[in-house]
Amino acid sequence: MKKYFPFLIVLVVLLGVGAKLLPPKNSGPYDVVGFGQLPVLENGRFKPLHTVARNSLLQFQGRQRVVAADGRELTPGEWLMDVTFHSDLADTYQTFEIVHPEVLAIFDLNPDSGLAGKRFSFRQMDGKLAELERQAKLAFPVESAVRTTFQRAVVQLYANLLHYQRLKYTLVGPGRDDFLGDLLKFQENLPAGIAAIQAREAKQPYDEKAFAAIVGVGEVIEAMSKTAEILVIPPDTTEADPTAWQTAGAALLDTFKTKQVSAAALAYAGLAHAWRLHQPEQFNQLIKLYRADLAKRFAPQVAKAQAETRFNVAEPFYSGLIIYALAAFLAIFSWLAWPETLGRTAFWLVALGWIISTGGIVTRMFLEGRPPVTNLYSSALFIGWGAVALCLVLEYLYRNAIGSVAAGTVGFSTLFIAHYLQLSGDTLEMMRAVLDSNFWLATHVVIVSTGYASTFLAGFLAIIYIFRGFFTRSLDKATADALTRMVYGIVCFATLFSFTGTVLGGIWADQSWGRFWGWDPKENGALIIVVWNAIVLHARWGGMIKQRGLMCLAVGGNIVTSWSWFGTNMLGVGLHSYGFTDAAFVVLTSFVVSQIAIIALANVPLEKWRSFQGGAEVRSTPRPADTASVR
Amino acid sequence: MTDAVRQFRDFFVSLKLTVFLLVLGILLIFAATLDQVNLGIWAVQEKYFRSFFVLWRVGDVPVPVFPGGYLIGGLLLVNLVSAHAYRFKMAWRKSGIFLTHAGLILLLVGELLSGIWQQDFSMRLSEDEPKNYSESYQHNELVIVDTTDAANDDVVSIPEGVLAKGDVVQHPKLPFRVVTKLYYPNSSLRMHDETKAAAGTEPPSPATTGFGTRVVAIPLRVTYKQDERNLATAYIELVGPEGSIGTWLVSTHPDLLPQAFEHGGRSWRIAFRPRREYKPFQLTLLKFSHDRYAGTDIPKNFSSRIRLQTPNGQDDREVLIYMNNPLRYAGLTFYQASFEKDNPKVTILQVVKNPSWMLPYVACALMTLGLIIQFGIHLVGFVQKRRAPRPVVA
């Protein structure tokens, strides 16, 4: 049984994760998945509507799940359809997170009236939007770094509501019972209507009915063209530029010139019609036709949108998060009981989590056409990935579950950080001009991130040493020596990578700004990591530190790395203030304090450490996990 | 060898000194990073890195509070060189460490040299207007130009520092003395308010001639922000043998043109402007492009197509300068630095002169190679040790 235990656990987990990798299926009669896969152009990037819906929801409420008042659960695609096709309904969904009590006071709301005490619907805020706007306008002139928490919350909510309103105008005219009918009538009345408009402008008698028919819809269309930002209508066949997409409103305004309502706009109006009138067959038929038409001219965009939707649904990093947590738990437990079995299970789980993360990162690279690290979010993914890869090597060499504990914890933490970083918007955004260099992104950024990853890993291994030594009796001499060798080796690795990466950054700066080194905060942060690692190595070589000293300095590496990774960014904001009120700042500060506390703990005299009590400094309690490495 | 000498030697070759200096280095870099919020990047470099001591002003007395970049870097250099000289042994095992440190020495020397030699200028090019000079970012000059000869201008340039000190300048080419009456390192200009002047609430302008009679300069605090520029203004009186010729308001405000006047039968111009550096060639902007991502304002690329010509006709070609692709020519490097929002026919290049720009490249190659060798040796040793049969712990 024990022999098959690791195999069984990994298989169960694999089945759980594997289900999400299958092509997504529609839960009802509508082809919601097909709708979500339709490509649109937003912020310079082609993406599926599913991503638009998912990112909006994450930004509004920190999660993508939507629950209607009647308890019905909506997928992001269904939610977006209700927002655009049936906004009265969507206005009742509680999808806006408001936690600041003073912001709630603007709307006369209290936590009890919200979903889970913090999510509210557009309808609940409807009457007091003018006051929110007034507060937001008061806050705008204040530099973002010095805004109060109330001002931040107001600005954030205002931006979210604006985005929500824009979404409503993206595909069809909101608030119209039958936009398809409107458009068809519009098309029909167009010649007479234009003639009426011209006659009216020339102050001559005109056909009032034709005029009214055109102007009514015209106003809706104009509102759409002014409000919406996402480009959803593909250019027609005569247009050579494949990125010349338009908003639905702009495309419909063009009707006055072309005399022909855009087919894509009609398709969306038709979808709205079928969705509102509960006609799944027409809906599915339209999706099929429109997609087939798009695929003729935009095959790569359609294929990528489809891949991205599957990627969204598969959520590889979420699966990774759970697997790493499980692995860390099993690996820690393996120090207490069944070291062999649980150790092997943990190892294979880490491997599985790592493979899934690899798949996720590779998919992102394919979607973006870029090297792995392009922003803070992807740096978190990559740093975790690199650290876990190193742990797998360590665990393969030592087989004492230390590598697995480190892998599980570091992998979990970085994916957890990434989860919060993605709430700020699209994580596959386009690169600004100065960063638009795949060569430097692939070399400097990847190498320096590997340097970060390994410095963190060394620090984390040191924490294992300190915790096991202080709190348990399990830190025998063999384990302590193995940990020391690991930390030392990883610090060497970190020195090489952080140095090379920093230097490559200097060369990039020389290429793009004309100076090798400018002492700017990010450069300084990276330099501090290099110097810190150099200090660790020199202090070790000079005999200034022994095992415990090495561990303390390695934990210090966590502090300098977190400063360089996040702290320097906070400094960049506004250049006047550190944004002390930022949640990120609080997290960073608590992390630094916790690391200092661990260093202090390590400096408690050895006789207080449980592993070294009774003067038995050299304990030889052989563990199967240690002897296993000799095989 | 006496004890004192030995102690002295042991101090300078010790690893303890290395670690101590590295710790000081980290503290210095960290403090400098934080202080950028207050001082901006240029002032921080001068205060922390290009100095022997970080000075704090207590009243008017600068007090050294921490070793500066030159001192820490210099001591590290001494420590490194003496340690290697003292312990040097020719051995393969040491080659990695040796290469790494040789690279480090080169890197430190390179940073020192860039600090001394590197100069940054900006070059604003308008479409189809050839230009053969660049302008300093930080330094200004007062120029008095004899324009009597239509073919040649005779330029006398007075650095801003002289104006700041308030020295009286007498130059053999000028038939008058130059007296600085007022100098503001940063200022804003506004029109002279006639009604207030009539009511006596606005003091009369110190300027007696030129547009300074109509314009008032208001002194401002010097700014260190990266996206703001200081606009220096001065009131300059020219005094000939027969007494004052007049007092001019001069300012580096970009909209102000040089002011012309006649004296002693010759034509003159006076202007305050960013210091110019003339080149033995000229550049002409042919086209500036600013690409954005579809449907957004996110910049995708900036590029400038430029014609490069030398007076002797040896060089006459078109070059394209864009992000991450500078032009290196005549010991200078031209980068795409900026553009003007409301004028698409203008590009702004940054011009850098740094004769030591190659040093970091060489240094980095040496250090990376050294680290790979050093840690490679460790790794091989580790793997071999693991392969060797080890007694099973009983």
| Chain segment A4-31, per-residue pLDDT in tens | 888 888 888 888 888 888 888 888 899 9
Q: Which residue has the higher pLDDT, A337 or A468?
A: A468
ipTM (interface pTM): 0.81
CA distance A431 to A441: 10
Helix A49-61 to helix A76-85 angle (10° resolution) is: 90
Residue from A484, A575, A577, A618 to probe the interface with B (highest B Cβ count within 10 Å):
A575
Q: Which of A100-114, A281-295, A492-506, B79-93 has the lowest mean pLDDT?
A: B79-93
Residue A476 and residue A624 in one domain: yes
Residue from A488, A499, A504, A565 to probe the interface with B (highest B Cβ count within 10 Å):
A499
CB contact under 8 A, B30 and A499: no
CA distance B387 to B108: 41
Cβ atoms of A537 and A489 within 8 Å: the answer is no
Residue in A267, A309, A284 with CA at minimum distance from that of residue A46: A309
Is the alpha carbon torsion for A231, A237, A238, A242 positive or negative?
Answer: positive
For residue B215, is it within any domain? no
Residue A129 and residue A238 in one domain: no
A contacts of B18 (beta carbons < 8 Å): 538, 542
- B385 CB near a chain A CB, below 8 Å? no
- Mean predicted confidence (pLDDT) in B12-32: 92
Task: Please name every residue paired with B372 in a beta bridge, in sequence order, or none if there are none.
Answer: none
- B189 CB near a chain A CB, below 8 Å? no
Residue A474 and residue A540 in one domain: yes
Q: How far is CA A116 from the centre of its chain?
A: 23
Inter-chain CB pairs, A–B, below 8 Å: 173
pLDDT tens digits, A544-567: 998 999 999 999 999 999 998 888
Those residues with Cβ within 8 angstroms of residue B197's Cβ, 6 or more apart along the chain or in another chain: B204
SS3 A429: coil
Report pTM. 0.83
**Residue A83 CA: distances (Å) to CA of A171, A380, A409, B26:** 10, 32, 39, 53
Which residue of chain A has the CA closest to B19?
A535
CA distance A591 to A556: 11
Per-residue pLDDT at A625 exceeds 60: no
At residue A455, the pLDDT reads: 95
Both tokens assigned to B70: 């030159």
User: Residues 111..140 of B with a Cβ closer than 8 Å to A: which?
Assistant: 111, 114, 118, 120
For residue B305, is it within any domain? yes
> How far B211 CA sits from the closest chain A CA (Å)?
35
> How far B297 CA sits from the closest chain A CA (Å)?
8
Residue in A361, A55, A453 with CA at minimum distance from that of residue A230: A55
Q: Strands (DSSP E) along B104-198, which ranges? A: 119-126, 131-146, 154-159, 169-170, 177-184, 187-191
* Backbone φ and ψ of A501, nearest 5°: -65, -45
Residue in A287, A282, A320 with CA at minimum distance from that of residue A305: A287
Which residue of chain B has the CA closest to A521?
B33
Per-residue pLDDT at A438 exceeds 90: no
CB contact under 8 A, A436 and B110: no
Which residue of chain B has the CA closest to A578?
B37
B contacts of A368 (beta carbons < 8 Å): none
pLDDT tens digits, A25-70: 888 899 999 999 999 999 888 999 999 999 999 999 988 889 988 8
Q: What is the band of B278 on the pLDDT scale with cuts at 50, 70, 90? A: confident
CB contact under 8 A, A515 and B114: yes
For residue A71, is it within any domain? yes
Residue A267 and residue A391 in one domain: no
Residue A626 and residue A495 in one domain: yes
At residue B40, the pLDDT reads: 75
Tell me how many degrees the CA angle B341-B345-B347 measures, rounded to the nearest 5: 70
Residue A94 and residue A221 in one domain: no
CB contact under 8 A, A503 and B367: yes
At residue A621, the pLDDT reads: 43
Q: Which residue in the block uniquely carries the two structure tokens 């038409």?
A: A293
CA distance A508 to A515: 9
At residue B265, the pLDDT reads: 85
Cβ atoms of B182 and B232 within 8 Å: the answer is no
Residue A508 and residue A615 in one domain: yes
B contacts of A514 (beta carbons < 8 Å): 120, 326, 333, 335, 350, 352, 354
Q: Please provide the DSSP assignment of B264-328 as one string.
A: TTEEEEEEEEEEEEEEEEEEEEEEEEEEE-TTS--EEEEEEEEEEE-TTSS-EEEEEEETTB-EE
For residue B257, is it within any domain? no
CA count, 13 A, side-chain hemisphere, A275 = 27
Q: What is the band of B227 on the pLDDT scale with cuts at 50, 70, 90? A: low
> How far A497 CA sits from the closest chain B CA (Å)?
9
CB contact under 8 A, B19 and A544: yes
Which residue of chain A has the CA closest to B391?
A630
Which residue of chain B has the CA closest to A436?
B300
CA count, 13 A, side-chain hemisphere, B162 = 15
CB contact under 8 A, A515 and B364: no
For residue B322, is it within any domain? yes
CA distance A48 to A54: 10
What is the overall mean pLDDT for chain A? 87
Both tokens assigned to B338: 């900026």
Cβ atoms of B270 and B277 within 8 Å: the answer is no
Q: How many domains does chain A have?
A: 4
- B36 CB near a chain A CB, below 8 Å? yes
Q: Which residue has the higher pLDDT, A145 or A198?
A: A198
For residue B358, is it within any domain? no
H, E, C per residue of A582-629:
CHHHHHHHHHHHHHHHHHHHHCCCHHHCHHHHHHCCCCCCCCHHHHHH
Residue A105 and residue A164 in one domain: yes
For residue A408, is it within any domain? yes
B contacts of A502 (beta carbons < 8 Å): none
For residue B332, is it within any domain? yes
Residue A481 and residue A621 in one domain: yes
DSSP state of B205: P
- B27 CB near a chain A CB, below 8 Å? no
B contacts of A620 (beta carbons < 8 Å): 393
CB contact under 8 A, A245 and B326: no
At residue B12, the pLDDT reads: 84
Smallest Cβ–Cβ distance between B393 and the set A41, A495, A627 belongs to A627
For residue A452, is it within any domain? no
A contacts of B116 (beta carbons < 8 Å): none
Q: What is the band of A147 on the pLDDT scale with cuts at 50, 70, 90? A: confident
B contacts of A521 (beta carbons < 8 Å): 33, 36
Q: How many domains does chain B have?
A: 1
The terminus-to-terminus CA distance of chain B in angstroms comes to 53
Q: What is the band of B315 on the pLDDT scale with cuts at 50, 70, 90? A: confident
Residue A584 and residue A493 in one domain: yes
**Residue B127 CA: distances (Å) to CA of A615, A625, B268, B358:** 82, 73, 29, 32
CB contact under 8 A, B352 and A514: yes
Q: Which residue in the block uniquely carries the two structure tokens 């979500």?
A: A36
pLDDT tens digits, A372-411: 988 888 999 999 999 999 999 999 988 888 999 999 999 9
Both tokens assigned to B352: 């850098």
pLDDT tens digits, A79-114: 999 999 998 899 999 999 998 889 999 998 888 888
Those residues with Cβ within 8 angstroms of residue A582's Cβ, 6 or more apart along the chain or in another chain: A570
- B390 CB near a chain A CB, below 8 Å? yes
- Mean predicted confidence (pLDDT) in B232-251: 89
- Mean predicted confidence (pLDDT) in A423-448: 79
DSSP state of A127: G
CA distance A42 to A228: 11
Cβ atoms of A392 and A403 within 8 Å: the answer is yes
For residue A456, is it within any domain? no
Residue A258 and residue A319 in one domain: no
Q: Which of A160-164, A230-234, B274-278, B338-342 has the lowest mean pLDDT?
A: B338-342
At residue B394, the pLDDT reads: 39
CB contact under 8 A, A430 and B300: yes
Those residues with Cβ within 8 angstroms of residue B222's Cβ, 6 or more apart along the chain or in another chain: B185, B186, B230
CB contact under 8 A, B111 and A517: yes
Smallest Cβ–Cβ distance between A534 and the set B22, B364, B379 belongs to B22
For residue A451, is it within any domain? no
**Residue B98 CA: distances (Å) to CA of B87, B103, B362:** 11, 9, 15
At residue A506, the pLDDT reads: 87
- B39 CB near a chain A CB, below 8 Å? no
Which residue of chain A has the CA closest to B49?
A519
CA distance A583 to A601: 27
Per-residue pLDDT at B118 exceeds 90: no
For residue A160, is it within any domain? yes
Range of the domain at A367: 315-430
For residue A450, is it within any domain? no
pLDDT tens digits, A342-368: 899 999 999 999 999 999 999 999 998
Per-residue pLDDT at A617 exceeds 60: no
B contacts of A542 (beta carbons < 8 Å): 14-16, 18-19
Range of the domain at B301: 121-129+278-353
Could you tell me how many helices (H) and strands (E) chain A has, helices first?
A: 28, 6
CA distance A383 to A120: 36
Per-residue pLDDT at A135 exceeds 90: yes
For residue B320, is it within any domain? yes
- Mean predicted confidence (pLDDT) in B235-243: 88
At residue A1, the pLDDT reads: 63
> How far A379 CA sits from the closest chain B CA (Å)?
21
Smallest Cβ–Cβ distance between B326 and the set A433, A511, A560 belongs to A511
CB contact under 8 A, B29 and A520: no
For residue B329, is it within any domain? yes
Cβ atoms of A101 and A151 within 8 Å: the answer is no
CB contact under 8 A, B296 and A44: yes
> How far B187 CA sits from the closest chain A CA (Å)?
22
At residue A532, the pLDDT reads: 96
> How far A522 CA sits from the closest chain B CA (Å)?
9
Residue A158 and residue A235 in one domain: no
CB contact under 8 A, B371 and A495: yes
CA distance A312 to A51: 7
